[in-house]
A and B are shown apart, each in its own frame.
Chain A
Protein backbone atom coordinates (compact mmCIF):
# COMPACT_ATOMS: atom_id res chain seq x y z
CA UNK A 1 0.00 0.00 0.00
CA UNK A 2 2.91 2.33 0.57
CA UNK A 3 3.79 2.26 -3.13
CA UNK A 4 0.41 3.85 -3.93
CA UNK A 5 1.05 6.62 -1.42
CA UNK A 6 4.44 7.28 -2.97
CA UNK A 7 3.03 7.40 -6.50
CA UNK A 8 0.33 9.84 -5.34
CA UNK A 9 2.86 12.08 -3.62
CA UNK A 10 5.08 12.17 -6.70
CA UNK A 11 2.11 13.07 -8.91
CA UNK A 12 1.08 15.91 -6.58
CA UNK A 13 4.66 17.17 -6.54
CA UNK A 14 4.84 17.15 -10.36
CA UNK A 15 1.49 18.92 -10.50
CA UNK A 16 2.63 21.73 -8.23
CA UNK A 17 5.81 22.06 -10.28
CA UNK A 18 3.72 22.65 -13.40
CA UNK A 19 1.58 25.14 -11.46
CA UNK A 20 4.70 27.14 -10.62
CA UNK A 21 5.81 26.93 -14.25
CA UNK A 22 2.45 28.24 -15.38
CA UNK A 23 2.59 31.29 -13.10
CA UNK A 24 6.21 31.88 -14.13
CA UNK A 25 5.07 31.83 -17.75
CA UNK A 26 2.55 34.55 -16.99
CA UNK A 27 5.42 36.80 -15.91
CA UNK A 28 7.93 35.95 -18.61
CA UNK A 29 5.85 35.90 -21.78
CA UNK A 30 5.51 39.12 -23.79
CA UNK A 31 1.85 39.29 -24.78
CA UNK A 32 -1.56 37.93 -23.90
CA UNK A 33 -1.50 35.18 -26.53
CA UNK A 34 1.76 33.66 -25.40
CA UNK A 35 0.72 33.99 -21.78
CA UNK A 36 -2.42 32.07 -22.59
CA UNK A 37 -0.28 29.31 -24.11
CA UNK A 38 1.69 28.70 -20.94
CA UNK A 39 -1.21 29.29 -18.57
CA UNK A 40 -3.57 26.84 -20.28
CA UNK A 41 -1.22 23.93 -20.84
CA UNK A 42 0.71 23.92 -17.60
CA UNK A 43 -2.30 24.66 -15.42
CA UNK A 44 -4.27 21.84 -17.02
CA UNK A 45 -1.56 19.22 -16.63
CA UNK A 46 -0.76 20.53 -13.15
CA UNK A 47 -4.37 20.14 -12.10
CA UNK A 48 -4.52 16.66 -13.60
CA UNK A 49 -1.41 15.64 -11.68
CA UNK A 50 -2.61 17.05 -8.37
CA UNK A 51 -6.17 15.74 -8.67
CA UNK A 52 -5.35 12.20 -9.84
CA UNK A 53 -2.43 12.17 -7.42
CA UNK A 54 -4.76 12.85 -4.49
CA UNK A 55 -7.02 10.03 -5.66
CA UNK A 56 -4.15 7.54 -5.79
CA UNK A 57 -2.69 8.84 -2.55
CA UNK A 58 -6.01 8.19 -0.80
CA UNK A 59 -5.94 4.57 -1.98
CA UNK A 60 -2.76 3.97 -0.01
CA UNK A 61 -3.92 5.45 3.30
CA UNK A 62 -6.10 3.59 5.77
CA UNK A 63 -8.94 6.16 5.81
CA UNK A 64 -9.18 6.42 2.00
CA UNK A 65 -11.20 4.29 -0.39
CA UNK A 66 -11.70 3.74 -4.11
CA UNK A 67 -14.48 6.36 -4.02
CA UNK A 68 -11.77 9.04 -3.91
CA UNK A 69 -10.20 7.86 -7.12
CA UNK A 70 -13.45 7.65 -9.12
CA UNK A 71 -14.53 11.12 -8.01
CA UNK A 72 -11.16 12.63 -8.80
CA UNK A 73 -11.25 11.00 -12.24
CA UNK A 74 -14.61 12.64 -12.95
CA UNK A 75 -13.23 16.01 -11.86
CA UNK A 76 -10.10 15.52 -13.97
CA UNK A 77 -12.08 14.66 -17.10
CA UNK A 78 -14.31 17.65 -16.51
CA UNK A 79 -11.28 19.95 -16.24
CA UNK A 80 -9.67 18.39 -19.31
CA UNK A 81 -12.78 19.08 -21.38
CA UNK A 82 -13.58 22.59 -20.14
CA UNK A 83 -10.17 24.22 -19.66
CA UNK A 84 -9.23 24.45 -23.37
CA UNK A 85 -12.67 25.83 -24.21
CA UNK A 86 -12.32 28.64 -21.70
CA UNK A 87 -8.84 29.37 -23.04
CA UNK A 88 -10.21 29.48 -26.58
CA UNK A 89 -13.01 31.84 -25.53
CA UNK A 90 -10.56 34.14 -23.73
CA UNK A 91 -8.02 34.30 -26.56
CA UNK A 92 -10.70 34.87 -29.16
CA UNK A 93 -12.26 37.63 -27.07
CA UNK A 94 -8.81 39.18 -26.68
CA UNK A 95 -8.34 39.16 -30.46
CA UNK A 96 -11.81 40.57 -31.12
CA UNK A 97 -11.29 43.42 -28.66
CA UNK A 98 -8.25 44.49 -30.67
CA UNK A 99 -5.28 43.49 -28.52
CA UNK A 100 -2.26 43.49 -30.87
CA UNK A 101 0.12 40.59 -31.34
CA UNK A 102 3.65 40.81 -30.00
CA UNK A 103 5.94 42.75 -32.36
CA UNK A 104 8.08 39.64 -32.91
CA UNK A 105 5.19 37.70 -34.40
CA UNK A 106 5.76 36.31 -37.87
CA UNK A 107 2.42 35.81 -39.55
CA UNK A 108 -1.19 36.73 -38.91
CA UNK A 109 -3.42 34.68 -41.18
CA UNK A 110 -6.46 35.46 -39.11
CA UNK A 111 -6.27 39.18 -39.92
CA UNK A 112 -6.02 38.31 -43.65
CA UNK A 113 -9.02 36.02 -43.30
CA UNK A 114 -11.11 38.66 -41.54
CA UNK A 115 -10.16 41.30 -44.11
CA UNK A 116 -11.06 39.00 -47.00
CA UNK A 117 -14.37 38.28 -45.37
CA UNK A 118 -15.09 41.96 -44.77
CA UNK A 119 -14.37 42.75 -48.40
CA UNK A 120 -16.62 39.93 -49.50
CA UNK A 121 -19.42 41.12 -47.22
CA UNK A 122 -19.06 44.77 -48.26
CA UNK A 123 -18.83 44.30 -52.05
CA UNK A 124 -22.15 42.68 -53.13
CA UNK A 125 -24.26 44.81 -55.47
CA UNK A 126 -27.52 43.80 -53.86
CA UNK A 127 -27.77 45.74 -50.58
CA UNK A 128 -30.31 43.31 -49.16
CA UNK A 129 -27.73 40.56 -48.99
CA UNK A 130 -25.22 42.32 -46.79
CA UNK A 131 -26.99 42.10 -43.42
CA UNK A 132 -27.70 38.40 -43.89
CA UNK A 133 -24.06 37.71 -44.62
CA UNK A 134 -22.88 39.67 -41.63
CA UNK A 135 -25.36 37.83 -39.47
CA UNK A 136 -23.89 34.57 -40.69
CA UNK A 137 -20.34 35.57 -39.84
CA UNK A 138 -20.86 36.09 -36.14
Chain B
Protein backbone atom coordinates (compact mmCIF):
# COMPACT_ATOMS: atom_id res chain seq x y z
CA UNK B 1 0.00 0.00 0.00
CA UNK B 2 1.47 3.31 -1.09
CA UNK B 3 2.02 6.04 1.42
CA UNK B 4 0.23 9.36 1.22
CA UNK B 5 2.10 12.65 1.31
CA UNK B 6 3.32 14.04 4.64
CA UNK B 7 0.90 16.97 4.55
CA UNK B 8 -2.08 14.69 4.11
CA UNK B 9 -0.97 12.37 6.91
CA UNK B 10 -0.33 15.33 9.21
CA UNK B 11 -3.74 16.87 8.51
CA UNK B 12 -5.48 13.56 9.12
CA UNK B 13 -3.73 13.17 12.49
CA UNK B 14 -4.69 16.71 13.49
CA UNK B 15 -8.34 16.10 12.55
CA UNK B 16 -8.53 12.93 14.62
CA UNK B 17 -6.83 14.53 17.62
CA UNK B 18 -9.10 17.56 17.41
CA UNK B 19 -12.19 15.36 17.30
CA UNK B 20 -11.05 13.60 20.48
CA UNK B 21 -10.48 17.01 22.08
CA UNK B 22 -13.98 18.10 21.08
CA UNK B 23 -15.52 15.04 22.70
CA UNK B 24 -13.45 15.39 25.87
CA UNK B 25 -14.23 19.05 26.47
CA UNK B 26 -17.79 19.00 25.10
CA UNK B 27 -17.69 22.77 24.73
CA UNK B 28 -17.79 25.07 21.71
CA UNK B 29 -16.23 28.07 23.48
CA UNK B 30 -13.82 29.76 21.02
CA UNK B 31 -11.05 29.79 23.63
CA UNK B 32 -11.30 26.05 24.16
CA UNK B 33 -11.50 25.39 20.45
CA UNK B 34 -8.45 27.53 19.74
CA UNK B 35 -6.33 25.91 22.41
CA UNK B 36 -7.47 22.45 21.36
CA UNK B 37 -6.50 23.20 17.77
CA UNK B 38 -3.08 24.46 18.93
CA UNK B 39 -2.49 21.31 20.99
CA UNK B 40 -3.65 19.07 18.12
CA UNK B 41 -1.22 20.79 15.78
CA UNK B 42 1.69 20.27 18.21
CA UNK B 43 0.88 16.67 19.11
CA UNK B 44 0.15 15.86 15.47
CA UNK B 45 3.58 17.11 14.45
CA UNK B 46 5.20 14.60 16.81
CA UNK B 47 3.01 11.61 16.14
CA UNK B 48 1.79 11.63 12.53
CA UNK B 49 4.62 9.41 11.32
CA UNK B 50 3.52 6.46 13.43
CA UNK B 51 -0.20 7.25 13.40
CA UNK B 52 -1.21 6.77 9.79
CA UNK B 53 0.05 5.71 6.40
CA UNK B 54 -2.98 6.61 4.30
CA UNK B 55 -3.57 10.19 5.37
CA UNK B 56 -6.71 11.93 4.20
CA UNK B 57 -7.64 8.99 1.96
CA UNK B 58 -9.12 7.46 5.13
CA UNK B 59 -11.85 10.10 5.05
CA UNK B 60 -13.37 9.15 1.69
CA UNK B 61 -17.20 9.05 1.91
CA UNK B 62 -17.41 5.38 0.98
CA UNK B 63 -15.11 4.35 3.81
CA UNK B 64 -16.95 6.50 6.33
CA UNK B 65 -20.30 5.10 5.24
CA UNK B 66 -19.03 1.53 5.63
CA UNK B 67 -17.52 2.40 9.01
CA UNK B 68 -20.85 3.78 10.22
CA UNK B 69 -22.70 0.74 8.89
CA UNK B 70 -20.15 -1.47 10.62
CA UNK B 71 -20.90 -0.08 14.10
CA UNK B 72 -24.43 -1.52 14.57
CA UNK B 73 -23.40 -4.74 12.84
CA UNK B 74 -20.50 -5.13 15.24
CA UNK B 75 -22.53 -4.20 18.32
CA UNK B 76 -25.16 -6.77 17.34
CA UNK B 77 -22.47 -9.45 16.97
CA UNK B 78 -21.12 -8.46 20.37
CA UNK B 79 -24.50 -8.77 22.06
CA UNK B 80 -24.99 -12.19 20.46
CA UNK B 81 -21.53 -13.14 21.74
CA UNK B 82 -22.48 -12.25 25.27
CA UNK B 83 -25.76 -14.15 25.13
CA UNK B 84 -23.74 -17.10 23.85
CA UNK B 85 -21.34 -16.78 26.78
CA UNK B 86 -24.29 -16.47 29.16
CA UNK B 87 -25.74 -19.71 27.79
CA UNK B 88 -22.44 -21.57 28.17
CA UNK B 89 -21.77 -20.30 31.68
CA UNK B 90 -25.25 -20.82 33.08
CA UNK B 91 -26.01 -24.16 31.38
CA UNK B 92 -25.45 -26.95 33.96
CA UNK B 93 -23.60 -29.18 31.50
CA UNK B 94 -21.19 -26.45 30.37
CA UNK B 95 -21.43 -27.18 26.63
CA UNK B 96 -17.98 -26.22 25.43
CA UNK B 97 -15.90 -27.87 22.76
CA UNK B 98 -12.73 -25.78 22.55
CA UNK B 99 -9.74 -25.86 20.25
CA UNK B 100 -7.35 -23.73 18.27
CA UNK B 101 -8.17 -23.33 14.58
CA UNK B 102 -6.47 -21.57 11.72
CA UNK B 103 -8.04 -18.94 9.48
CA UNK B 104 -6.93 -17.01 6.42
CA UNK B 105 -7.72 -13.41 5.70
CA UNK B 106 -7.78 -11.34 2.53
CA UNK B 107 -6.97 -8.09 4.33
CA UNK B 108 -3.68 -6.45 3.40
CA UNK B 109 -3.14 -3.45 5.67
CA UNK B 110 -1.90 -3.76 9.25
CA UNK B 111 -4.69 -1.62 10.69
CA UNK B 112 -7.24 -3.83 8.94
CA UNK B 113 -5.66 -6.94 10.43
CA UNK B 114 -5.66 -5.33 13.87
CA UNK B 115 -9.32 -4.41 13.68
CA UNK B 116 -10.22 -7.87 12.36
CA UNK B 117 -8.36 -9.43 15.30
CA UNK B 118 -10.18 -7.12 17.71
CA UNK B 119 -13.54 -7.90 16.13
CA UNK B 120 -12.84 -11.63 16.33
CA UNK B 121 -11.93 -11.38 19.99
CA UNK B 122 -15.17 -9.62 20.88
CA UNK B 123 -17.58 -11.82 18.90
CA UNK B 124 -19.11 -15.25 19.57
CA UNK B 125 -16.79 -17.76 21.15
CA UNK B 126 -13.55 -16.81 19.47
CA UNK B 127 -10.36 -15.13 20.66
CA UNK B 128 -7.31 -14.32 18.57
CA UNK B 129 -4.22 -16.15 19.77
CA UNK B 130 -1.68 -15.11 17.18
CA UNK B 131 -1.44 -13.48 13.77
CA UNK B 132 1.29 -14.45 11.33
CA UNK B 133 1.08 -12.83 7.92
CA UNK B 134 -2.42 -13.66 6.65
CA UNK B 135 -2.89 -16.58 9.02
CA UNK B 136 -4.93 -16.16 12.18
CA UNK B 137 -4.74 -18.64 15.03
CA UNK B 138 -7.96 -18.51 16.93
CA UNK B 139 -9.10 -20.18 20.12
CA UNK B 140 -12.65 -21.27 19.40
CA UNK B 141 -14.85 -22.29 22.30
CA UNK B 142 -17.12 -24.48 20.16
CA UNK B 143 -15.27 -25.95 17.18
CA UNK B 144 -17.72 -26.77 14.39
CA UNK B 145 -15.25 -27.11 11.54
CA UNK B 146 -11.54 -27.51 12.12
CA UNK B 147 -10.41 -27.09 8.51
CA UNK B 148 -8.90 -23.80 7.39
CA UNK B 149 -11.64 -22.95 4.88
CA UNK B 150 -14.51 -23.87 7.17
CA UNK B 151 -13.16 -21.87 10.06
CA UNK B 152 -12.56 -18.84 7.85
CA UNK B 153 -16.13 -19.01 6.58
CA UNK B 154 -17.48 -19.11 10.11
CA UNK B 155 -15.20 -16.59 11.77
CA UNK B 156 -13.49 -14.06 9.54
CA UNK B 157 -15.67 -13.69 6.46
CA UNK B 158 -18.64 -11.90 8.05
CA UNK B 159 -16.35 -9.01 9.01
CA UNK B 160 -14.11 -8.96 5.99
CA UNK B 161 -16.75 -7.58 3.65
CA UNK B 162 -16.83 -4.43 5.78
CA UNK B 163 -13.20 -4.19 6.82
CA UNK B 164 -11.94 -4.73 3.27
CA UNK B 165 -13.62 -1.47 2.25
CA UNK B 166 -12.76 0.46 5.41
CA UNK B 167 -9.07 -0.35 5.62
CA UNK B 168 -8.18 -1.93 2.29
B90 partner residues in chain A, CB cutoff 8 A: 21, 24
- Near A by CB (< 8 A), chain B positions 78-100 give 78-79, 81-82, 85-86, 88-90, 94, 96-100
- Give Cα A67–Cα B128 distance, bound, in whole angstroms: 35
Residue of B nearest to A44 (CB): B122
CB distance from A104 to the nearest CB of B (A): 7
Chain B residues with CB below 8 A from A25, complex form:
85, 88-89
Given A37-B125, A109-B137, A113-B137, 17 more contacts at CB 8 Å? A29-B94, A33-B127, A33-B139, A37-B85, A41-B81, A41-B122, A67-B25, A70-B24, A95-B130, A101-B98, A101-B100, A106-B97, A107-B99, A107-B100, A108-B99, A109-B146, A110-B102
Give the 4 A-B residue pairs with the shortest CB-CB distance, closest first: A84-B121, A67-B26, A106-B99, A109-B102
Q: Would you list which residues of chain A between 15 and 51 have a CB under 8 Å from chain B?
A: 18, 21, 24-25, 28-31, 33-34, 36-38, 40-42, 44-45
Give complex CA distance A106, B137 in Å: 14
Residues of B within 8 A of A107 (CB): 99-101, 143, 146
Interface string of B48-73 (1 = CB under 8 A from A): 00000000000000000000000000
Docked pose: A41 CA to B118 CA in angstroms: 11
Q: Are B89 and A21 in contact (CB under 8 A)?
A: yes
- A42 CB to nearest chain B CB (Å): 6
Contact residue among A37, A73, A108 (Cβ-Cβ distance under 8 Å from B127): A37
Check if B85 sits within 8 Å of A42, measured CB to CB. Answer: yes
- Is the beta-carbon distance between B82 and A42 smaller than 8 angstroms? yes
In contact, B94 and A105 (Cβ under 8 angstroms): no
Determine if B23 and A113 form an interchain contact, defined as CB atoms under 8 angstroms apart. no
Q: Is the CB of A21 within 8 A of B98?
A: no
Most B C-beta atoms less than 10 A away, residue of A34, A84, A113: A84
Q: Complex Cα distance A34/B117, Å?
A: 17
Q: Count how many pairs of residues, one from A and one from B, have CB atoms less than 8 Å apart in the complex.
A: 130
| Chain B proximity of A57: nearest CB distance (Å) | 16
CB of A6 within 8 Å of the partner chain: no
Instruction: Determine whether B135 belongs to the interface, using a CB cutoff of 8 Å to chain A.
Output: yes
Alpha-carbon gap, A41 to B82, bound state (A): 6
